[in-house]
């Protein structure tokens, strides 16, 4: 085992998780205005707060899908002319731009779905949105989707957003729910998103969330997650306020992602250099624009074993950047 790994494990064992998270930022730049915070570790999982080192330009005010559905400001429904597996209608009735993240779950309708890509919808606008089914065995019910189920685990998010193949989405749902003993009669991912099986799988990482919540909110704009030392995902938002709206969903996504992995001894969290290299592998790839409207546009990149989606305003200010490991 390397000296760095031995030292980290010694700190983890002697100080405990909460004490370790209070040691302060380890430092290391992750790009303009971003730095690597102190890793928070439990078993095979490490989450790393991404903190801002300079004031970002204002990205504006956004409504989240979860908030919009809860406050009846957003209506998500099956298509009026007949339901389609891979499309739904989203009505933004608010005065704010509606932010949709690829991998967000919408529960109800004729089958549970996940949003297919990162996008933003203008105020007072209704549009068709690409989705993927995450409930293979049901095609009946109401035409409305009642609420959001948070964010799917990392690989499912990546398969939906970048592979864009319904069969692969169903395959990953079946694999993950089977691994965590959360299979159901209709084959829905809901058992992990909001069910007791998902809560049980995530409970073993409760100390990670407790420690993360102690990091000063005003500085955190994102999170990196790794399993057995390998970076699985990185999510970065324009502002601390926007990150805070998705923080719990991102942590729970990471918990489910890691829950069926076997801990490997001596695996320290990735360093700032390793996390930056992970992001750079996608950032240097050729961009492909996948959507554009008056509220913003989305560009995707596919690098070596890493994929990226960047959602920006029309003035090219990034709102949200996500990176997923494409190797596992």
Average pLDDT, the chain: 91
Across the range 117-134, mean pLDDT stands at: 97
44 pLDDT exceeds 70?
Answer: yes
Q: In the prediction, which pLDDT does 10 show? A: 32
What span, in angstroms and rounded, lies between the C-alpha atoms of 39 and 203? 19
Q: In the prediction, which pLDDT does 61 show? A: 87
Question: What per-residue string of b and e applies to 195-210 under the rule 16 or more CB within 10 Å gives b?
Answer: bebbeebbeebebbbe
Across the range 264-278, mean pLDDT stands at: 95
Across the range 309-327, mean pLDDT stands at: 94
Q: Name the residue with higher pLDDT: 23 or 253.
A: 253
What span, in angstroms and rounded, lies between the C-alpha atoms of 257 and 254? 5
Across the range 126-143, mean pLDDT stands at: 96
Q: In the prediction, which pLDDT does 37 show? A: 96
Across the range 10-21, mean pLDDT stands at: 35
Q: In the prediction, which pLDDT does 17 show? A: 39
Q: In the prediction, which pLDDT does 57 show? A: 65
Q: What DSSP letter does each residue of 119-140 carry, written as one string?
A: EEE-TTEEEEEEEEESBTT---
224 CB contacts (<8 Å, ≥6 apart)? 36, 47, 48, 50, 231, 233, 234, 235, 270, 275
Q: In the prediction, which pLDDT does 266 show? A: 87
Domain residue ranges of the chain, discontinuous segments joined by +: 3-58+203-325, 62-200
Instruction: Please give the DSSP secondary-structure letter assigned to residue 144.
Output: B
313 pLDDT exceeds 50?
Answer: yes
Do 224 and 59 contact (CB within 8 A), yes or no?
no
Q: In the prediction, which pLDDT does 6 show? A: 38
Q: Name the residue with higher pLDDT: 31 or 323.
A: 323
Phi and psi for 62 in degrees, rounded to 5? -125, 150
Share of the chain above pLDDT 90, in %: 84
CA distances from 301 to 49, 163, 193, 219, 289 (A): 23, 12, 27, 27, 9
Q: In the structure encoding, which two tokens stand for residue 200, read together?
A: 């049980």
310 pLDDT exceeds 50?
Answer: yes
Q: Note the helical H segments in 151-239.
A: 154-158, 166-179, 190-193, 196-203, 206-212
Across the range 22-35, mean pLDDT stands at: 72
Which tens digits make up the pLDDT trace of 149-162? 999 999 999 999 99
Q: In the prediction, which pLDDT does 58 show? A: 63
Across the range 49-60, mean pLDDT stands at: 80
Question: What per-residue string of b and e applies to 104-133 under the rule 16 or more CB within 10 Å gives b?
Answer: bbbbbbbbbbbbbbbbbbeeebeeebbbbb
Q: In the prediction, which pLDDT does 273 show? A: 96
33 pLDDT exceeds 70?
Answer: yes
22 pLDDT exceeds 70?
Answer: no
Which tens digits make up the pLDDT trace of 67-120? 999 999 999 999 998 999 999 999 999 999 999 999 999 999 999 999 999 999
Q: Facing residues of 131 across strands?
A: 115
Q: Name the residue with higher pLDDT: 58 or 162.
A: 162
Across the range 173-197, mean pLDDT stands at: 96
Q: In the prediction, which pLDDT does 109 show? A: 97
């Amino acid at each position: 085992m390397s000296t760095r790994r031995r030292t980290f494990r010694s700190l983890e064992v002697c100080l405990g998780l909460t004490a370790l998270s209070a040691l302060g930022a380890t430092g290391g730049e992750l790009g303009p205005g971003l730095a690597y915070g102190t890793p928070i570790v439990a078993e095979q999982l490490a989450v790393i707060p991404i903190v801002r080192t300079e004031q970002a330009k204002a990205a504006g005010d956004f409504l989240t899908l979860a908030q919009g559905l809860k406050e009846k400001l957003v209506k998500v429904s099956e298509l009026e002319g007949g339901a389609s597996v891979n499309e739904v209608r989203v009505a933004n009735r608010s005065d704010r731009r509606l932010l949709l993240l690829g991998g967000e779950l919408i529960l109800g309708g004729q089958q549970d779905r996940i949003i297919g890509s990162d996008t933003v919808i203008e105020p007072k606008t209704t549009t068709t949105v690409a989705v993927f089914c995450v409930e293979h065995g049901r095609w009946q019910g109401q035409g409305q989707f009642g609420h959001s189920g948070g964010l799917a685990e990392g690989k499912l998010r990546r398969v939906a957003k970048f592979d864009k193949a319904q069969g692969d989405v169903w395959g990953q749902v079946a694999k993950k729910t089977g691994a965590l003993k959360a299979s159901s009669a209709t084959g829905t991912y809901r058992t992990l998103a909001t069910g007791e099986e998902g809560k049980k799988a995530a409970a073993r990482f409760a100390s990670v969330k407790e420690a993360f919540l102690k990091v000063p909110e005003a500085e955190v704009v994102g999170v990196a997650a790794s399993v057995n030392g390998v970076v699985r995902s990185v999510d970065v938002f324009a502002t601390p306020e926007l990150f805070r709206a998705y923080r719990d969903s991102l942590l729970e996504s990471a918990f489910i992602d890691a829950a069926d992995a076997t801990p490997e001894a001596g695996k320290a969290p990735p360093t700032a250099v390793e996390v930056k290299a992970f992001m750079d592998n996608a950032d240097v790839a050729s961009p492909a624009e996948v959507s554009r409207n008056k509220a913003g546009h989305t560009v995707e990149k596919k690098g070596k074993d890493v994929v990226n989606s960047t959602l920006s305003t029309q003035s090219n200010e990034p709102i949200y950047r996500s990176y997923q490991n494409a190797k596992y």
